A = this chain, B = another copy of it.
Amino acid sequence: MNNLKEKLASKGLKATAQRLYVYEALFNSREHPTAEEVFRKVSKVLPSVSLSTIYNTLETFVEHNLVNKVLSESGTARYDAFVETHHHIYSEKGEIIADYYDDGLAELLLSYFSKKKIFDYEIKEVRLQIICSTKE
């Protein structure tokens, strides 16, 4: 998405080539890449890019809500250009298989919780981890 330049500007961030390519790499992937994977993709078009720039860039995006950070069971961080609330489907091994979007589900959960009046705190978000047996 090329309105990224505007989003960056509106947040006082400079629109560098590195940032544009990192975002592009994420946006064109449905695979929740790791920093290392983003690095390999961006390297193809910007061979001099460094891994630490990838990490810094991703972290900057996360802080400014342009990108989501998700953890896999192995502890390695994965990144996702889709920031709307959604759920993740995991294999038994703990790797993320897919995203799962479902508005009805959010409503169901929130009405369930408000009926039960369980929380003193305000619920900001409810995310599901759906663990499935892997089809081989």
Q: Which residues of A contact B (CB under 8 A)?
A: 69, 71, 73, 75, 77, 89, 92, 100, 105, 108-109, 112, 118-135
Contacts and interface: CB of A to CB of B under 8 A. Distances in A.
Contacts of A112: 105, 108
Contact of A123 (B69, B127, B131): B131
Contacts of A92: 124
A92 B121 CA distance: 11
Contact of A130 (B108, B123, B130, B135): B123
What is the copy number of this chain in the assembly? 2
A77 B71 CA distance: 11
Contacts of A77: 75
22 contacts: A69-B73, A75-B75, A75-B77, A100-B118, A105-B112, A108-B108, A119-B130, A119-B132, A120-B135, A121-B135, A122-B132, A122-B133, A124-B131, A124-B133, A125-B130, A125-B131, A126-B128, A126-B130, A127-B128, A127-B131, A128-B128, A128-B129
